[in-house]
Amino acid sequence: MTSILWFRRDLRLSDNRALAAACAAGPVVPVFIRDARVDALGAAAKWRLEVGLEKLAAALEQRGSRLILRAGPALEVLDGLVAETGARAVHWHRLYDPQAIDRDKKIKTALKAKDVSAESHPGHLLNEPWTVETGSGSFYKVYTPFWKAVRDRDPGASLSEPGQIAAPERWPDREALSDWQLSRAMRRGRDIVAGHHAPGEAAAQDRLAGFVEAGLERYGEGRNDVAGDGTSRLSDYLALGELSPRQAWEAARRRVEEGSKGAEGFLRQLIWRDFAYHLMYHTPHLLSDNWRDGWDEFGWQTDPGSDDVLAWKQGRTGVDFVDAAMREMYVTGRMHNRTRMIVASYLTKHMLVHWKVGLDWFADCLTDWDPANNAMGWQWVAGSGPDAAPYFRVFNPDTQAEKFDPDGVYRRRWLAEGQASPPRTALQFFEAVPERWGLAPDDPRPAPIVSLAEGRTRALAAYERLKSGQ
């Protein structure tokens, strides 16, 4: 029996339960569909998807298979492929955001009505969101009890990749990836960002193996060293599914059993990802609205094009640690977790700008963009989210820099202005940004948009007004 395998955010052949199920039944037609949801991705995420698809297509070819690319509404595309190939089943891995759930439910119903079986498989998470319940049968709103509820669960052994994948008698037509121009929106930054990435499943496996071997043991101490290489840097791979969370869990879990302390800290971070999905699934408004009641009156500024917001986006707030981090993201598509928290705190607290403005900019710039992690991260920092940082905790970027970048290595790496011979990384920012921004490495550093003391006082006053209902 021929089956269609619908790739979405699972661009891998190993530990791919949808692929295993399709292969077990006979010939497989792998497809990736560029539907409206793909078109809605941010510029960096689209570029990252493009290079991920190139790698996936090459890996499929090596196994006697092929990646069929089609653009259009997903159901129309799948209907067409079913008619062309005679497939009797469609397999995919589940996604958990409300739009994907809605789309997939409709597709399942429509395919079943035509007697085509539609099978959704777990694989994007370690724990399906509905399988983790509090004692009273509700969902978790706080991380630590969630962690305790799942840390001893065994997600099972990951699956190895198939050798050859049986091909259908006739391959359906496919569109060309280059015609899709997924990286068009990156404009001149594309090649610079590409230099900081090694996309694809094979690179993901190498990175995991290298990290487990050399980085995992000191993850606990190293994970806040913003200039170091102390974290796994697996987030792109996990976001696009080039690596399954189960593969990462399995590798680190083995080290925990061998007595590694750092490994447990890493497992906790993987569970933060599951927690974000748990929250998004049970409270989908996490993505779009203040998660906590009462925050709609906060009075944040919402203009994404204001001069101050533009300065934040361009790394020109005048606060070195904030600006360095914003440029790291522009040049690499990634940002260290510590500095994600700092730039988010600066925007939502010192500048009093709505977290959604920051969330949207991250969605446009991050190659590891993930709907649940991004929304939870922003709402956590802003104070409006689940298990949130208390509002009165306003990160002071200067104190944070003294602690986490004591020698200024990170700031010098990303800020060219004021340096006689700026490093290549700092100069790359000026090559990557649009010319209309009119920025040059020998510009003077701007004065802070708002002084750290004044920003903090203003933020706390705004919070007091919210609490007292004024």
Ligand X SMILES: Cc1cc2nc3c(=O)[nH]c(=O)nc-3n(C[C@H](O)[C@H](O)[C@H](O)COP(=O)(O)OP(=O)(O)OC[C@H]3O[C@@H](n4cnc5c(N)ncnc54)[C@H](O)[C@@H]3O)c2cc1C
The candidate with the shortest Cα–Cα distance to 414, out of 402, 392, 396, 432, is 432
Out of 276, 322, 325, 450, the only residue in the binding site for ligand X (CB under 6 A) is 276
Torsion, CA 104, CA 105, CA 109, CA 111, rounded to 10: 10
Measured CA to CA, the distance from residue 346 to residue 326 in angstroms comes to 11
Is residue 266 annotated as involved in ligand binding?
Answer: yes
Q: Cβ(302)–Cβ(354) under 8 Å?
A: yes
Kindly tell me which of 16 and 232 has the beta carbon lying closer to ligand X.
Answer: 232
Any contact of residue 249 with ligand X (CB under 6 A)?
Answer: no
Out of 18, 116, 366, 415, the only residue in the binding site for ligand X (CB under 6 A) is 366
Q: Which two tokens stand for residue 384?
A: 């409006």
Q: How far is CA 136 from the centre of its chain?
A: 31
The candidate with the shortest Cα–Cα distance to 71, out of 104, 103, 39, is 39
Neighbouring C-beta atoms of residue 140, cutoff 10 Å = 22
Measured CA to CA, the distance from residue 434 to residue 187 in angstroms comes to 8
Any contact of residue 433 with ligand X (CB under 6 A)?
Answer: no
Out of 312, 362, 410, 429, the only residue in the binding site for ligand X (CB under 6 A) is 362
Residue 434 CB, nearest distance to ligand X (Å)? 22
Out of 378, 404, 410, 414, the only residue in the binding site for ligand X (CB under 6 A) is 378
Q: Cβ(181)–Cβ(274) under 8 Å?
A: no
Question: What DSSP element (H or E) covers 308?
Answer: helix 307-313
State the binding string over 404-423 for ligand X (x if CB under 6 A, else -). --------------------
Any contact of residue 341 with ligand X (CB under 6 A)?
Answer: yes
Is residue 368 annotated as involved in ligand binding?
Answer: yes
Measured CA to CA, the distance from residue 322 to residue 353 in angstroms comes to 15
Neighbouring C-beta atoms of residue 417, cutoff 10 Å = 19
What are residue 69's phi and psi, to 5 degrees? Answer: -105, 130
Q: Which residue has the tokens 């007595």?
A: 259
Kindly tell me which of 234 and 251 has the beta carbon lying closer to ligand X.
Answer: 234
Q: Candidates 119-127, 369-377, 399-407, 461-469 — which segment interacts with ligand X by CB under 6 A?
A: 369-377
The type of residue at 232 is S
Measured CA to CA, the distance from residue 227 to residue 211 in angstroms comes to 16
Any contact of residue 370 with ligand X (CB under 6 A)?
Answer: yes
Is residue 233 annotated as involved in ligand binding?
Answer: yes
Q: Cβ(245)–Cβ(279) under 8 Å?
A: no
Residue 349 CB, nearest distance to ligand X (Å)? 13
Measured CA to CA, the distance from residue 244 to residue 10 in angstroms comes to 8
Out of 337, 446, 462, 466, the only residue in the binding site for ligand X (CB under 6 A) is 337
Distances (CA, A) of 463 to 298, 346, 388: 7, 15, 14
Residue 334 CB, nearest distance to ligand X (Å)? 7
State the binding string over 203-242 for ligand X (x if CB under 6 A, else -). --------------------x-------xxxxx--xx---
Kindly tell me which of 234 and 394 has the beta carbon lying closer to ligand X.
Answer: 234
Distances (CA, A) of 156 to 202, 239, 267: 22, 21, 15
Kindly tell me which of 376 and 432 has the beta carbon lying closer to ligand X.
Answer: 376
Q: Candidates 86-94, 251-259, 333-341, 420-428 — which segment interacts with ligand X by CB under 6 A?
A: 333-341
Residue 282 CB, nearest distance to ligand X (Å)? 16
Total residues binding ligand X (CB under 6 A): 27
Is residue 369 annotated as involved in ligand binding?
Answer: yes
Is residue 216 annotated as involved in ligand binding?
Answer: no
Residue 433 CB, nearest distance to ligand X (Å)? 21
Measured CA to CA, the distance from residue 107 to residue 112 in angstroms comes to 8
Out of 8, 55, 253, 273, the only residue in the binding site for ligand X (CB under 6 A) is 273
Is residue 281 annotated as involved in ligand binding?
Answer: no
Q: Cβ(134)–Cβ(282) under 8 Å?
A: no
Kindly tell me which of 283 and 337 has the beta carbon lying closer to ligand X.
Answer: 337
Residue 84 CB, nearest distance to ligand X (Å)? 36
Q: Which residue has the tokens 């991705």?
A: 41
Kindly tell me which of 117 and 337 has the beta carbon lying closer to ligand X.
Answer: 337
What residue ranges bind ligand X (CB under 6 A)? 223, 231-235, 238-239, 269-270, 272-273, 276, 337, 340-341, 344, 362, 366, 368-370, 373-374, 377-378, 381
Binding region for FAD: 219, 231-235, 266, 368-370
Q: Would you list which residues are annotated within the binding site?
A: 219, 231-235, 266, 368-370
